[in-house]
Amino acid sequence: MAEVGGSASKATATDGANQYGILFEPVRIGPVTAPNRFYQVPHCTGLGWLRPHMQAELRGVKAEGGWGVVNTEYCSIHPSSDDLPYPSASLWDDGDIKAHALMTERVHEHGALAGVELWHGGERSANLYTREVSIDVASLPNSAGNPCQSRAMDKSDIRDLRRWHRDAALRARQAGFDIVYVYATHGYTLSHFLSPVTNTRSDEYGGSLENRTRLLRELIEETREAVGDTVAVAVRLSVDDGGGGDGIPVEGYGRDTLELLAELPDLWDLNIADYSYEMGVSRFVKEGALEDYMAFAKSVTTKPVVTVGRFTSPDAMVSQVRRGIVDLIGAARPSIADPFLPAKIREGRLDDIRECIGCNICFTGDGKGVPIRCTQDPTMGEEWRRGWHPEKIAPKGSDDSVLVVGAGPAGLEAARALGQRGYSVTLAEAGRELGGRVTQESALPGLSEWARVRDYRVQQIEKMPNVAIYRESALTADDVLAFRADHVVIATGARWRADGFGRYNMEPLAGLGPPERLFTPDDIMAGRLPEGRVVLFDDDHYYMGGVIAEKLAASGARLTLVTPEDKVSAWGVYTVEQIRTQCRLIELGVEIVTAHGLEACDGGEAVLRCVYTGRERRVAADALYPFVVANPAIAGKLTPSASSSSSSTPLD
């Protein structure tokens, strides 16, 4: 058992004892014991109370993969904290217990602990489903953008909240949870009580630190009193007050709260004020980025500490524990990209780890109110509905052969999965490099970790004697037919268009300048860069426009980015990178023109039109005007042949 608060004891990993043995030591958390240090922190799935079977199976697979603690997402304690259309978990009444019991049973089957993050959203919950009035420490505007505000809680509201929390904790115990959270961060009710900015109360819950922490203290004590003999009480807290810039902690009431309540809960789950840094995309935030914020924590509490940092490297994890930064390795995204990450480390199969690439596609389900998906792990979220498993797949149903044409991410994954099933697979790639768009895009600013999509798959395929890779093998349709494979998978990718077609222009633009003045992301990635003044028209709205703009601006282009949206890379709000993208471009001196469509570019100036007023605007330009159009891609094609025909039966 690890001595929390002191130096970690000798490794006790049972099987495959190796230099990572320290990660497999059990850790005591109050009345319960985590079997190892792998701790899946609370994270949403877009499943919540709406899809309990999917939820249970997803969490069960993580426990199967070796995570010692598996938590729910945020779990509402009362209808005054309703987040629809974003499906949270809930423990509003006894009817919710059964759904959670599905999950705890699946988690316990594999010897892991199950935790639940009790949550009250305050002003952030608009209660669009329940129609309850939001309540919070004060009357605060809804920060999720809805035109409403909270009512300031009076004493009876506070008593109600304490009762709801206690009742939810009791239900959590009945559902079989081993850890119950008091959730005091991320801009919800409890964090508003803690903050001297939002807490403007003049009663015993406002003013001094002691008063502002009163409700948190009460909830910890009451949760312990309700369930604490068999269930651990955890607190999720921000130890940084925010505003210091990336990697620069601002110590204040966050640290003071931790110091004041240091020994009260059984576990501290610590994070920071800036969500876009805590959960930053790899383009802006690298592994272990919170260390400077957390370095002090274990000096002020003897309770186990967990924090996050998109940890996928076992060496980084061991280092965090050995240097006394944390007791448990917290992970949301690494556990999504590879639910079997702990098992692979334990078995010394480091090559098999499917490392998170930090794209945050998993988080977009939250913002869209739909089930989670992951770029690296296609099975994530489909464990119950389709019976998919991240490590196991049905064996082949025949001795058929398969030809996969194209070794981009889709072709690589098809070859990997078919190879794992035991089929005889030939993977043909036109170029020398494998990875297709992932290889190209990973060379763009900040995106190097995206190459992990390729690397994981190539590593797996290279171990498979039944998968043969042929590079520099461009195939025509006749070549494909002549190959006489039983099945053919076409994965030849796509190209960006240069004709202006997109969301704004639903048909190609006639008035675009000469081809030598037109550039697409494919050109830029191939090293064909424009010079002089550049207008980049981004009608894609995700990362590509912003990243290309960054590359061009950094290479000295005088750049104007035009988008029909109201902000740059607008879809990036769902991956929590939009603000950072816009900030980066402003700092690089890019001129940004929002809410304008592109109508023409004659090689001298670009003609734009305001999407609201229809007014024309011309962007001052040099005589020759290079141009980048980032528009939706069209599917690539095999070189056709007059004699081509195809017939194929579905693969069993």
Ligand X SMILES: Cc1cc2nc3c(=O)[nH]c(=O)nc-3n(C[C@H](O)[C@H](O)[C@H](O)COP(=O)(O)O)c2cc1C
Q: If binding means CB under 6 A, how many residues of this protein chain bind ligand SF4?
A: 13
**Residue 274 CB, nearest approach to ligand X (Å):** 11
Q: Does 120 bind ligand X (CB under 6 A)?
A: no
Residue 450 burial (10 A CB sphere; 0-12, 13-18, 19+)? buried
Q: For 84, which DSSP code?
A: T
How many angstroms separate the Cα of 200 from the Cα of each of 148, 154, 482?
Answer: 19, 13, 77
Given 310, 354, 416, 452, the residue binding ligand X (CB under 6 A): 310
DSSP states along 483-531: HT-SEEEE---EEE-SS--SSS-SS--S-B--GGGEE-HHHHHTT----
Q: Does 570 bind ligand SF4 (CB under 6 A)?
A: no
**Residue 224 CB, nearest approach to ligand X (Å):** 20
Q: Closer to ligand X by CB, 67 or 423: give it.
A: 67
Q: Does 363 bind ligand X (CB under 6 A)?
A: yes
Given 80, 191, 375, 582, the residue binding ligand SF4 (CB under 6 A): 375
Segment interacting with ligand X, rule: CB under 6 A, options 247-255, 361-369, 436-444, 494-502: 361-369
Q: Pull the structure tokens for residue 192.
A: 């508003």
Residues 280-309 binding ligand X (CB under 6 A) are: 308-309
**Residue 456 CB, nearest approach to ligand SF4 (Å):** 10
Q: Does 355 bind ligand X (CB under 6 A)?
A: no
Q: Does 271 bind ligand X (CB under 6 A)?
A: yes
- Give CA–CA dist 235/216, Å, rounded: 9
**Residue 447 CB, nearest approach to ligand SF4 (Å):** 12
Q: For 141, which DSSP code?
A: B
Q: How far is CA 588 from the centre of its chain?
A: 26
Residues 14-53 binding ligand X (CB under 6 A) are: 41-44
Residue 318: name its binding partner from ligand SF4, ligand X, none (Cβ under 5 to 8 Å by kind).
none
Q: Residue 231: how many CB atoms within 10 A of its CB?
A: 27
Instruction: Provide the 3-class DSSP secondary structure of residue 13.
Output: coil
Given 100, 192, 283, 333, the residue binding ligand X (CB under 6 A): 333
Q: Residue 592: how many CB atoms within 10 A of its CB?
A: 15
Distant-in-sequence, close-in-space partners of 89: CB < 8 Å, separation ≥ 6: 48, 49, 55, 72, 73, 74, 75, 76, 100, 116
Q: Is 443 in contact with 489 (CB distance < 8 Å)? A: no
Residue 358: name its binding partner from ligand X, ligand SF4, none (Cβ under 5 to 8 Å by kind).
ligand SF4
Q: Closer to ligand X by CB, 181 or 253: give it.
A: 181
For residue 430, which phi and psi values (nearest 5 degrees)? -65, -40
Residues 320-349 binding ligand SF4 (CB under 6 A) are: 333, 336-337
For 527, left (φ over 0), alpha (ψ -120 to 50), or beta? left
Segment interacting with ligand SF4, rule: CB under 6 A, options 109-117, 234-242, 354-362, 522-530: 354-362
List beta partners, residue 278: none
- Give CA–CA dist 115/305, Å, rounded: 15
Q: Does 338 bind ligand X (CB under 6 A)?
A: no
**Residue 491 CB, nearest approach to ligand SF4 (Å):** 20
Cα-Cα-Cα-Cα dihedral sign, residues 249, 254, 260, 265: negative
Q: Pull the structure tokens for residue 376.
A: 């690296």
**Residue 355 CB, nearest approach to ligand SF4 (Å):** 8
Q: Does 353 bind ligand SF4 (CB under 6 A)?
A: no
Q: Pull the structure tokens for residue 68.
A: 């010692």
For residue 454, give the nearest of 491, 403, 418, 407 by alpha carbon. Answer: 407
Q: Closer to ligand SF4 by CB, 114 or 362: give it.
A: 362
- What number of CA atoms fall less than 13 Å from residue 396's CA on the CB side? 17
- Give CA–CA dist 41/26, Å, rounded: 17
Residue 65: name its binding partner from ligand X, ligand SF4, none (Cβ under 5 to 8 Å by kind).
none
Q: Position 14: which residue type?
A: T
User: Which entry of 39, 183, 188, 205 is annotated as an active-site residue?
Assistant: 188
**Residue 141 CB, nearest approach to ligand SF4 (Å):** 30
Segment interacting with ligand SF4, rule: CB under 6 A, options 121-129, 369-377, 523-531, 547-555: 369-377
Asked about 188 being catalytic, the answer comes back as yes
Q: Closer to ligand X by CB, 188 or 625: give it.
A: 188
Residue 359: name its binding partner from ligand SF4, ligand X, none (Cβ under 5 to 8 Å by kind).
ligand SF4
Give the residue numbers annotated as catalytic, written as ranges: 188
Residues that bind ligand SF4 (CB under 6 A): 333, 336-337, 356-362, 374-376
Residues that bind ligand X (CB under 6 A): 41-44, 73-74, 117, 186, 236, 271, 278-279, 308-310, 331-334, 362-363, 366
